[in-house]
């Protein structure tokens, strides 16, 4: 990782923690264990936790579990080299025990890549459901455990009505469970049910966060999401291609906000509660493409088109974050324009010959 990238992330963490760090005070001197710890979400959590150690003397230990834990040595070597960060290489489904000193557990092990869901739906289901059960069984035996954060998905709510500005946590819309394409959302739903069962049977403190969409450092530009593709196309000189009419609506949260929200939900969320994590400010993809194109001095062209095989499938996926705002006092520190600016800076500061992050 280049010095410029590391400094950008450090600055982002300091910005989101300014005047807010003491709201995470219950984490002081704790041992935080994160499954999926070297992915996009886990890496940002590690960045924010280690920033709390460095700048606010929190004195935490952090353990990151991943099937490819050593990948952190390439993507974020400054984290992998830290004495307060331990790497654990293991599939979550094979987790028989957790360190007895674990006081806080974040279960975030699952790939949101819909290409994997389509190509290997059985593996997708087994990794999410089997992984969640194994992790919760290990957690149930911990003597010092205070709280578990289960990371679900906004997709588990089902399709959002187009005339709804935001999708609330209590909404349980339609999922076509007869289609293999529903494997990820259905598995995430069942994972939440498993957490409810463990909470009831073992009297565990478990809270769930449902992430929506994000834009920022540590995301691969090869991911099959419109915003990643728009950024990639722009960095390559264009054109920025919209595979549809651009009427689909999404919203994007910057990952330093995401990491702070997740930690706040972990320490102060209601036991058994569910909280959406994302930006409530929706934007049409055609307008997002314009924003990204306008961020380049040599503005790339934008190409609109309908996917072959029929009319575009317009959808809306924007969270209602009233619960997080009201109960936990959460808001956004970084708006979309700044998120685009930071993201482009991150990728422009890649090592020579590389555009995308290595995660």
Cα separation of 215 and 253, whole Å? 6
Local confidence pLDDT in tens for the 359 residues of the chain: 799 999 999 999 999 999 999 999 999 999 999 999 999 999 999 999 999 999 999 999 999 999 998 889 989 999 999 999 999 999 999 999 999 999 999 999 998 888 888 889 999 999 999 999 999 999 999 999 999 999 999 999 999 999 999 999 999 888 888 888 899 999 999 999 999 999 999 999 999 999 999 999 999 898 889 999 999 999 999 999 998 899 999 999 999 999 999 999 999 999 999 999 999 999 999 999 999 999 999 999 999 874 655 556 789 999 999 999 999 999 999 999 999 999 999 999 987 666 544 33
Structure confidence at residue 358 (pLDDT): 37
pTM (2 decimals)? 0.96
Structure confidence at residue 181 (pLDDT): 87
Structure confidence at residue 357 (pLDDT): 41
First-to-last CA distance in the chain? Answer: 12
Bond into 239 cis (ω within 30): yes
Tokens found for residue 219: 């995301």
Q: Catalogue the E-assigned strands of the chain.
A: 31-35, 61-66, 85-89, 104-107, 147-151, 206-211, 240-243, 249-250, 274-277, 283-284, 302-305, 316-317
Structure confidence at residue 124 (pLDDT): 96
Q: Nearest 10 degrees: CA dihedral of 290, 294, 298, 301?
A: 10
Q: Is the CA virtual torsion 307, 185, 328, 48 positive or negative? A: negative
Q: Which residues have a Cβ under 8 Å from the Cβ of 165 and sit 6 or more positions away? A: 280, 282, 318, 320
The fold of the 3-213+252-278+318-333 domain, in CATH, is: Rossmann fold (3.40.50)
Tokens found for residue 302: 């934008």
Cα separation of 225 and 318, whole Å? 15
Tokens found for residue 205: 């403190």
Angle at 86 between CA 89 and CA 274, to 5 degrees: 80
Residue pair 27/104 in contact (Cβ under 8 Å)? The answer is yes
Structure confidence at residue 359 (pLDDT): 31
Task: Of 322, 285, 303, give the one whose Cα is nearest residue 239.
Answer: 303
Residue pair 103/144 in contact (Cβ under 8 Å)? The answer is yes
């Amino acid at each position: 990782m280049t010095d410029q990238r590391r400094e950008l992330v450090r600055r982002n963490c300091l910005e989101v923690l300014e005047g807010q760090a003491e709201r995470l005070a219950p984490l002081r001197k704790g041992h935080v264990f994160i499954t999926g710890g070297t992915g996009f979400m886990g890496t940002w959590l590690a960045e924010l936790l280690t920033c709390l150690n460095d700048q606010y003397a929190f004195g935490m230990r952090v353990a990151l579990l991943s099937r490819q834990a050593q990948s952190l040595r390439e993507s974020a070597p400054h984290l992998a080299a830290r004495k307060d960060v331990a790497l654990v290489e293991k599939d979550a489904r094979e987790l028989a025990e957790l360190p007895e000193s674990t006081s806080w557990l974040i279960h975030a092990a699952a790939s949101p890549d819909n290409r994997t869901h389509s190509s290997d739906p059985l593996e997708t289901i087994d990794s999410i459901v089997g992984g969640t059960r194994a992790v919760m069984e290990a957690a149930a035996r911990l003597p010092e455990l205070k709280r578990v954060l289960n990371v679900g998905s906004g997709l588990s709510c089902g399709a959002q009505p187009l005339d709804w500005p935001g999708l609330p946590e209590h909404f349980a819309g339609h999922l076509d469970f007869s289609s293999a394409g529903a494997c990820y959302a259905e598995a995430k739903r069942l994972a939440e049910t498993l957490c409810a069962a463990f909470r009831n049977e073992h009297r565990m403190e478990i809270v769930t966060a449902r992430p929506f969409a994000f834009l920022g450092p540590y995301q691969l530009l090869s991911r099959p999401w419109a915003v990643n593709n728009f950024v990639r196309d722009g960095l390559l000189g264009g054109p920025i291609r919209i595979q549809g009419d651009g009427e689909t609506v999404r919203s994007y949260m910057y990952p330093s906000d995401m990491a702070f929200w997740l930690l706040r939900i972990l320490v102060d969320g209601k036991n058994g509660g569910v909280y959406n994590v994302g930006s409530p400010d929706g934007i049409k993809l055609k307008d997002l493409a314009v924003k990204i194109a306008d961020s380049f001095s040599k503005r790339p062209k934008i190409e609109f088109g309908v996917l072959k095989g029929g009319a575009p499938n317009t959808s809306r996926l924007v969270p209602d974050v009233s619960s997080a705002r009201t109960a936990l006092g959460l808001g956004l520190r970084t708006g979309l324009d700044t998120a685009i600016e930071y993201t482009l800076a991150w990728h422009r500061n890649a090592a020579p010959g590389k555009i995308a992050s290595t995660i």
